[in-house]
């Protein structure tokens, strides 16, 4: 494992909503640099910054127009370099969000690729050989663009119609007239350009990348073998030139992503990890729903840990820019217990900006830059009770998007001043996580108790002779488990009442409680 990842605790920054330093209503790179002290004081020592490259912003920057330049609304390449330097001076690391699978329709590569005359970029994107051919049966393509240029062909798209798919080749060729193998000149040129982009930012001071839609690159690749080979090639390049560069995948399938050479994969709002049953969905466990089933997540985790131990990490986020905030279905006490789990769990934890103060998801907001239902999770950071929450000095009509309209909205300044706030609860958990190796990123974990229905969690953590337990009960009534040797433990942190022995030598786990216990 890359050394700095062993104790990394990440903070996700959505740049346009984090901090506006120049009063234009949009967050920017200098604004992030300005708040590094805040992020570090919270306990996070690494950042993931959502896309900050030049873009037409039909999809909030996930439609890149120039991979080599910072979008002017965020600042300059020099501003980003200064951010890297300031972070490194604090012992922090920075991941950029890399979007390798598609570009914006306005990207110069695509503009050249649309031309009827063959050129360097003709095969840089996935095109058919006929204007009227469709791609319904192509794995990895969701739709097509046609009739947009003199080129008599249709171009595949990965997501929105503004995001044409870059060509990394096909694993299974069903139409040799236009589908190219992964080692054809066009796909290989795309792959080498991906390495050039990574090389550019790593040389400037970036510490690695979170990779958007990492499993989407090679088309018709149902078992992902060719996509795995592609990323293994990229990992080999990094190992040679930038061995400390981290790769985090948006894949949601650790058995695939870690084999492909990624250092970490995420629990996500899609896939079959059981993650959504924890904090969201119809029956969230930490919502105290008696119909919840924590055993699904526990079983999938156990299988993955057995198969993947030593190969990398699966990361637990509080949320991200693509899902409703953790506060949407959990109240503050439930969030405290949820964070007791997140920071007691193995893998590098990721905290979405504002989740540390319980920022709210705002439903039914008008979509901003392709956010749609996700827009309510992307509102400006609430730094204080001042004008615009001290996010920006611009008139409110000029803000990137509207603030949470609630006059009682949470803010960082108030929570930092309140000793028992959610902010300080998370801060304490991070301190303990770093102080005791068994609760850290790469320790072993075993669910001693995790069943369907009203079941507590007893999670055993171990690393190099250090051993501890995370004990949780999010339900309204006390629950009971077999004594795992509580007399031999020291309580590190507790909420809602400590576990205690009963007369029949069981353990009573108090209602709505959580504790970290260290084996003496």
Decide if 120 is inside a domain: no
> Do 390 and 479 belong to one domain?
no
**What pLDDT does residue 272 have?**
83
> What's the pLDDT score for residue 305?
87
Determine, yes or no, domain membership for 117.
no
State residue 106's pLDDT score: 98
Does 35 reside within a domain? yes
The DSSP 8-state label assigned to residue 376 in this structure reads G
Q: Are 462 and 452 in contact (CB under 8 A)?
A: no
Q: Does residue 373 sit in the same domain as residue 238?
A: yes
Tell me, what's the pLDDT at 1?
83
Range of the domain at 332: 3-101+187-433
pLDDT at 309 over 80: no
Residues 457 and 409 in one domain: no
Q: Using alpha carbons, list the distances in angstroms from residue 398 to 23, 26, 74, 370, 393.
A: 9, 8, 15, 18, 10
- Secondary structure percentages of the chain, helix, strand, coil, to 5: 30, 20, 50
Q: Is the pLDDT of residue 138 over 80?
A: yes
Torsion angles phi and psi, residue 483, rounded to 5: -65, 125
Nearest of 270, 269, 249 to residue 313 by alpha carbon: 249
Q: Using an 8 Å Cβ cutoff, are 259 and 276 in contact? A: no
CA angle 64, 65, 66 (to 5 degrees): 95
Q: What is d(CA 253, CA 221) in angstroms, rounded to the nearest whole number?
A: 15
359 and 483 assigned to the same domain: no
By residue count, the chain amounts to 520
Report d(CA 489, CA 518) in Å as an integer: 5
Q: Report d(CA 508, CA 204) in Å as an integer.
A: 54
Q: Domain for residue 125, yes or no? A: no
On whether the CB atoms of residues 8 and 2 are closer than 8 A, the answer is: no
For residue 306, what pLDDT is reported? 83
Q: Look up residue 159 and give its DSSP letter.
A: S
Pair (409, 505) in one structural domain = no
Question: Quick check: 222 and 139 in contact, CB under 8 A?
Answer: yes
Q: What is the pLDDT of residues 367-419, one digit of tens each?
A: 999 999 999 999 999 999 999 999 999 999 999 999 999 999 999 999 999 99
**Same domain, yes or no, for 261 and 381?**
yes
Identify whether 404 is part of a domain.
Answer: yes
112-135 pLDDT per residue, tens: 999 999 999 999 999 999 999 989
Please report whether residue 32 resides in a domain: yes
Residue 455 lies in a domain: yes
Pair 408, 345 in one domain: yes
- pLDDT for 505: 87
Q: Are residues 453 and 413 in the same domain?
A: no
Alpha-carbon span 20 to 493, nearest angstrom? 36
Could you read off the pLDDT of 190-239 as tens digits, one per residue?
999 999 999 999 999 999 999 999 999 999 999 999 999 999 999 999 99
Tell me: do 273 and 295 sit in the same domain: yes
379 and 482 housed in the same domain: no
Report how far residue 324's alpha carbon sits from residue 316's, in angstroms, rounded to the nearest whole number.
Answer: 15
Q: Looking at residue 270, what is its pLDDT?
A: 87
H or E, element range at 438: none
How large is the average pLDDT for residues 493-499?
A: 97
CB 43 within 8 A of CB 440: no
Q: Any idea of the CA torsion for 355, 360, 361, 367, to the nearest 10 degrees?
A: -100
Distance of CA 502 to CAs 460, 479, 482, 518, Å? 21, 11, 10, 20
Whether 61 and 55 have beta carbons less than 8 Å apart is answered as yes
Is the CB of residue 217 less than 8 Å from the CB of residue 230?
yes
CB-side exposure of 31: number of CA atoms within 13 Å? 28
Identify the pLDDT of residue 271.
Answer: 81
Q: Give mean pLDDT, residues 178-192.
A: 98
Mind listing the pLDDT tens digit for each residue in 158-168? Answer: 999 999 999 99
309: which DSSP letter? T
User: Does the structure show a pLDDT above 80 at 310?
Assistant: no
Please give the average per-residue pLDDT across 420-448, as a whole number: 96
- Whether 403 and 478 map to the same domain: the answer is no
Classify residue 262 by burial, with Cβ atoms within 10 Å: 0-12, 13-18, 19+: buried
**Using N-to-C axis directions, what is the helix angle for 225-241 and 185-204, rounded to 10°?**
40
Per the domain annotation, does 143 fall within a domain?
no
The mean per-residue pLDDT over the stretch 249-265 comes to 95
Residues 353, 91: Cα–Cα separation, whole Å: 20
For the segment 62-74, what is each residue's pLDDT rounded down to a tens digit?
999 999 999 999 9
Closest residue by Cα to residue 520 from 476, 469, 477, 481 = 469
DSSP type of residue 366: P
Q: What is the residue-averaged pLDDT of the chain?
A: 97
Confidence tier at 454 by pLDDT (50, 70, 90): very high
Q: Supply φ then ψ for residue 342, to 5 degrees.
A: -55, -45
Pairing status of strand 466-473 against strand 457-463: antiparallel
Task: Enumerate residues 6+ apart whose C-beta is below 8 A from 40.
Answer: 90, 92
Q: Which of 433, 450, 475 is the last residue of a domain?
A: 433
Per-residue pLDDT of 142-151, as tens digits, reads: 999 999 999 9
- Nearest 5°: phi and psi at 375? -55, -40
Could you say which of 387, 407, 433 is where a domain stops?
433
Residue 409: give its domain's CATH number.
Answer: 3.20.20.80
Are 364 and 247 members of one domain?
yes
Residue 285 tokens read as: 């466990």
Total number of domains constituting the chain: 2
Question: Which pLDDT score, from 0 to 100, does residue 74 have?
Answer: 98
Asked which of 408, 433, 458 is the last residue of a domain, the reply is: 433
Q: Which of 209, 210, 212 is nearest to 200 (CA)?
A: 209
Contact 92, 40 (CB under 8 A): yes
CATH number of the domain at 455, please.
Answer: 2.60.40.1180
Q: Give the residue among 253, 256, 289 at the shortest CA–CA distance from 270.
A: 253
Tell me the CB-side half-sphere exposure of residue 145, using CA atoms within 13 A: 23
């Amino acid at each position: 494992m890359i050394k700095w990842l062993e104790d990394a605790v990440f903070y996700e920054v959505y740049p346009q909503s984090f901090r506006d330093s120049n009063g234009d209503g949009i967050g920017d790179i200098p604004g992030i640099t300005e708040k590094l002290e805040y992020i570090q004081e919270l306990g996070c020592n690494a950042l993931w910054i959502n896309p900050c490259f030049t873009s037409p912003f039909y999809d909030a920057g996930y439609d890149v127009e120039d991979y080599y330049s910072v979008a002017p609304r965020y600042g300059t390449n020099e501003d980003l370099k200064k951010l890297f330097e300031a972070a490194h001076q604090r012992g922090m690391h920075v991941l950029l969000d890399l979007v390798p699978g598609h570009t914006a329709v306005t990207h110069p590569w695509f503009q050249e690729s649309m031309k009827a005359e063959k050129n360097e970029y003709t095969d840089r994107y996935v095109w058919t050989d006929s204007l009227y051919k469709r791609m319904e049966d192509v794995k990895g393509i969701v739709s097509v663009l046609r009739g947009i240029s003199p080129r008599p062909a249709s171009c595949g798209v990965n997501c929105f119609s503004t995001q044409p798919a870059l060509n990394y080749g096909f694993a299974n060729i069903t139409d040799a007239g236009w589908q190219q193998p992964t080692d054809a000149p066009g796909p290989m040129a795309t792959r080498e350009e991906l390495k050039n982009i990574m090389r550019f930012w790593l040389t400037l001071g970036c510490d690695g990348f979170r990779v958007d839609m990492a499993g989407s690159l090679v088309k018709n690749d149902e078992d992902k073998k060719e996509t795995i080979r592609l990323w293994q090639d990229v990992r080999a390049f990094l190992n040679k030139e930038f061995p400390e560069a981290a790769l985090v995948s948006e894949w949601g399938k650790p058995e695939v992503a870690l084999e492909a050479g990624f250092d970490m994969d995420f629990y996500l709002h899609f896939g079959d990890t059981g993650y959504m049953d924890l904090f969201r969905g119809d029956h969230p466990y930490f919502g105290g729903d008696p119909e919840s089933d924590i055993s699904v997540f526990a079983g999938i985790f156990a299988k993955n840990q057995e198969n993947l131990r030593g190969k990398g990490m699966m990361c637990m986020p509080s949320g991200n820019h693509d899902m409703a905030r953790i506060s949407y279905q959990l109240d503050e006490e439930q969030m405290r217990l949820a964070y007791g789990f997140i920071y007691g769990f193995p893998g590098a934890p990721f905290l979405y900006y504002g989740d540390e103060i319980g920022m709210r998801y705002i439903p039914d907001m008008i979509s901003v830059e392709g956010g749609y239902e996700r827009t309510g999770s992307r509102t400006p950071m609430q730094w204080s009770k001042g004008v615009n929450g001290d996010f920006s000095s611009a008139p409110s009509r000029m803000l990137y998007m509207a603030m949470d309209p609630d006059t009682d909205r949470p803010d960082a300044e108030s929570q930092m001043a309140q000793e028992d706030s959610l902010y300080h609860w998370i801060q304490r958990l991070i301190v303990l996580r770093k102080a005791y190796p068994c609760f850290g990123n790469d320790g072993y974990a075993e669910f001693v108790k995790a069943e369907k229905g009203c079941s507590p969690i007893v999670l055993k953590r171990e690393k190099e002779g250090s051993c501890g337990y995370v004990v949780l009960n999010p339900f309204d009534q006390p629950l009971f488990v077999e004594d795992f040797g509580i007399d031999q433990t020291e309580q590190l942190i507790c909420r809602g009442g400590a576990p205690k022995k009963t007369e029949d030598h069981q353990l009573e786990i108090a209602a709505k409680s959580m504790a970290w216990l260290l084996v003496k």
